[in-house]
Structure 1
């Protein structure tokens, strides 16, 4: 038996490693599609060819959330799904000093990611599509404001990039974590926010292996600081300085005037249909598609149709 084990071929060992990875992270692209930004160690998936499509995840999530849509879309586009610093397989940021710092730090890392992809990976400097979800929404819009010449179109998925409407109220559990340090400490200790999200965030339950994959990067307390910091950085009111990052200069309409596809999970307990209505009011030119049987993680509950909608959107706006 020892002799047989020693005689296994490298190809067979590679097959075993791939099978083990599939058990740990079912459906996630193989390591041959994994990359890192040399300057920061930020991890990202790079799959497919064609026009660049950048997927920005939210909190508490990572690029694993996009695996099904990336698989669907990669025959038609260059799909780039980074793990924001502090999340997933990226290196972790130090705790932020102020409420707006997490946003600015993430924007700086997006700058470095874009520079790396253009200078080292041969991607075009312009003509990018952003697919934005949850916390990735304000980050993506703020980054597009930094670089108006880069972004050509937007796909909006259950997120917000404007001050809360007057009648909107965050769920109590998010307000508790945000506003009460002791509650935040308990949630951080127990990983309660991430554990709840993988169940409450979908309408169609994830398989146990998928839930474990979502939670794997935050299994240890030291690795989940960014999750807690992101909740505590949620704007409290319309005077919060975070919103200033999303204001276009002067009379410029900003990136929200770009061609836009809105794909919305209608069973989201946080980003409710009222926020979709506000998007539609602010961006009447947008094409809106509602997924009545999808929750917050619309890319899980409606992956195939979402991928096809994005594909058709890209074709129709070239």
Structure 2
């Protein structure tokens, strides 16, 4: 698995396919394997890059002084784009990756050719109410580790405070075992996760959302209507803010659109990329 060293630390990533570059951002306590169903479908036509972000399931700890607030991780993503020399990348976010993608688009738009947001943290829903107890837990030494111990039990994972509301399908227990294994394998990974958790606060996305009103790159909002964590209404709110944004509905899915509806999600992504010009102003976007 390739890796690259940035100021913040070493980031591992997967790089599959050829063509226009598409960079996928995953969620909290997950890694890049979450996107595999979409990468499998898009890699014949696009270069798919999926980094393991330092969100609690990464394998190499960040430098002790690394800024792991949401803004800090957005800077890491921007630095990764530069380090990989990706011109006008299509940036895709899901779950907490959607929050990070919004901040990258608002604060570091230089190399963003297109933006694709799926269900995830938006506006004041950061984090979702089901996970707001994680913030206070992260401020008590060792408590976050105890909370995540329960997720080792597969029955607990299906609960709303686990992974249960993220998908309509069966949970990918092999992936979750790997994510938890990474968290528990290294105290410095747990240190990173604590830092990230403390930075997920309701005010983190309000200013970036306002800045997106001047974001002039083609934008796709592909939102699942049945998501109970990250509501479809937030896609509608974003569509009213981002100039020329295209809102598409993914039925029969929750947050993990790449798992619940991989064919439709890949089709929407691919059609959007093919029908738009990277870096063109939204008013110049060619209709699908």
TM-score bracket for the superposition, by shorter chain length: 0.7 to 0.9
Partner of 2:94: 133
Match of 1:152 among 80, 105, 113: 113
- Taking a change above 3 Å as real, the CA distance of residues 201 and 51 of structure 1, as seen in their structure-2 partners, is same
CA contact (8 A) 2:27 2:55 kept: no
Using the alignment, how far apart are the partners of 1:184 and 1:245 within structure 2? Answer: 31
Find the residue that maps to 2:109 and give its secondary structure: coil
User: 1:246 Cα shift?
Assistant: 5.5
Using the alignment, how far apart are the partners of 1:47 and 1:289 within structure 2? Answer: 26
CA RMSD after TM alignment: 3.0
Residues 52-201 of structure 1 mapped to structure 2, 5 A cutoff: 52-93=21-62, 101-118=68-85, 123=86, 125=87, 127-161=88-122, 163-164=123-124, 171-181=128-138, 185-191=142-148, 196=157, 197-201=162-166
TM-score by length of 1: 0.72
TM-score by length of 2: 0.78
- Taking a change above 3 Å as real, the CA distance of residues 174 and 285 of structure 1, as seen in their structure-2 partners, is same
**Unpaired stretches in structure 1, ≥5 consecutive residues:** 1-33
Partner of 2:201: 235
- Taking a change above 3 Å as real, the CA distance of residues 217 and 311 of structure 1, as seen in their structure-2 partners, is same
Using the alignment, how far apart are the partners of 1:46 and 1:309 within structure 2? Answer: 21
Match of 1:254 among 214, 224, 229: 214
Find the residue that maps to 1:38 and give its secondary structure: strand
Partner of 2:282: none
CA contact (8 A) 2:126 2:201 kept: no
1:96-116 deviation per Cα after TM superposition (whole angstroms, max 9, x unaligned): 79xx85224323322332232
CA contact (8 A) 2:119 2:232 kept: no
CA contact (8 A) 1:144 1:150 kept: no
Find the residue that maps to 1:308 and give its secondary structure: helix
Using the alignment, how far apart are the partners of 2:25 and 2:79 within structure 1? Answer: 15
Count of aligned pairs: 266
1:131-173 deviation per Cα after TM superposition (whole angstroms, max 9, x unaligned): 1112222322322334333111111111245x32xxx696544
CA contact (8 A) 1:129 1:155 kept: yes
- Taking a change above 3 Å as real, the CA distance of residues 204 and 95 of structure 1, as seen in their structure-2 partners, is farther
Find the residue that maps to 2:247 and give its secondary structure: strand
- Taking a change above 3 Å as real, the CA distance of residues 58 and 181 of structure 1, as seen in their structure-2 partners, is closer
Partner of 2:245: 286
